[in-house]
Chains A and B, each alone.
Chain A
Amino acid sequence: MRFVWFWTFWHWSKESYRSGSLLRSPLHGIGSHWDEWFRHEASENDRQAIEESGRTEPTQRQFIAWLFRHWAREMDWRENRMVPRFVIGQLAHLPPFSQWPAFEKYRTSYGVVGIPALVLAEKSLGEPEDVRAVEAMALPADSAGQAVMPEGFRAEAAEFDAPRLAAKSLLCGKGLLIFLALWITGGRRPYARWLSIALFLGWGAVLGLILFLLAGPEPGNQLFLFSAVLVALWSGLMLAAAVVVARQSFRAWRTGAELSARLEHSQVRLRMNGGLTLKGGSAGLPFCLNTLLALYYARPEAARRSWIWHRFFRKMRSEAESWAGTGVITGDGYLTPVVIEPKLRACLKHDRIRQILTPRQRDASKQTVDHLAETLTVAVEREAKSSHLGMQLGFAAEKPRLRAHGCRHVAHTMMALGGFADKWQMASRVFALVVSAIMLMALADLRSIVLPHPAPIAVAPGSSSPYYLWVSLDTKHPKYFSVVLESDYWSNRRADVKPCGGVTPSVRAEIHLHRLTGMTAANEEDGVVWIERRRRFLTREFHPGERVGRYSIPYLSRLGHE
Chain B
Amino acid sequence: MSSKIPIEELLRWRVAKAETDAPPAPRAARLLEMARPWWEIWPERFQSFVERLGGIQVAYGHAMAEPGQSRTGHPVPTLIVCPVEELETSVRVLYINVRDGRLRLRFQLDAGAAQDHESFEVTFVSDKPERPLLSAAAILSLESEYCIDTELCEELAHGWEQLKVTDRMPFRLILRSDKDVG
Contacts and interface: CB of A to CB of B under 8 A. Distances in A.
B142 A40 contact: no
Nearest to A94: B142
A21 B71 contact: no
Nearest to A29: B94
A36 B149 CA distance: 10
B111 A23 contact: no
Interface string A1-29: 00000000000000010011111100001
B164 A93 contact: no
Interface string A24-54: 1000010111011001100000000000000
A21 B96 contact: yes
Contacts of B141: 32, 35
A32 B140 CA distance: 11
Contact of A36 (B93, B147, B165, B166): B147
B126 interface: no
A22 B94 contact: yes
Contacts of B73: 23, 144
Given A21-B95, A21-B96, A144 B147 contact: no
A108 to B, nearest CB: 14
B165 A32 contact: no
A142 B22 CA distance: 56
Contacts of A39: 147, 149
Given A22-B94, A22-B95, A32-B142, A40 B104 contact: yes
A143 B70 contact: yes
Given A32-B94, A40-B104, A23 B165 contact: yes
B172 interface: no
B94 A24 contact: yes
For chain B, what secondary structure do more than half of its interface residues adopt (helix, strand, loop), or is it mixed? strand
B106 interface: yes
Contacts of B159: none
Interface residues of A, number: 21
B95 A23 contact: yes
A514 interface: no
A40 B164 contact: no
Interface string B87-104: 000001111110000001
Contacts of A144: 70-73
Interface string A146-187: 000000001000000000000000000000000000000000
Contact of A143 (B71, B96, B112): B71
Nearest to B111: A154
Residue among A21, A36, A94, A154 with most chain B CB within 10 A: A21
Contacts of B71: 23, 143-144
B142 A93 contact: yes
Interface string A78-95: 000000000000000110
A542 to B, nearest CB: 69
Contact of A154 (B72, B104, B112): B112
B2 interface: no
A21 B164 CA distance: 6
A147 B112 CA distance: 19
B121 interface: no
A440 B104 CA distance: 79
Interface in B137-174: 141-142, 145, 147, 149, 164-167
B69 interface: yes
B104 A20 contact: no
B106 A20 contact: no
A36 B142 CA distance: 11
B69 A143 contact: yes
Contact of B142 (A20, A22, A31, A277): A31
Interface of A: 16, 19-24, 29, 31-33, 35-36, 39-40, 93-94, 143-144, 154, 277
Given A35-B147, A39-B147, 18 more contacts: A20-B164, A20-B166, A20-B167, A22-B165, A23-B92, A23-B95, A24-B94, A32-B95, A32-B141, A35-B141, A35-B142, A36-B106, A40-B104, A143-B72, A144-B70, A144-B71, A144-B72, A154-B111
8 contacts: A23-B166, A24-B94, A35-B141, A39-B149, A93-B142, A94-B142, A144-B70, A277-B112
4 closest cross-chain pairs (CB), A and B: A20-B164, A143-B71, A23-B165, A144-B71
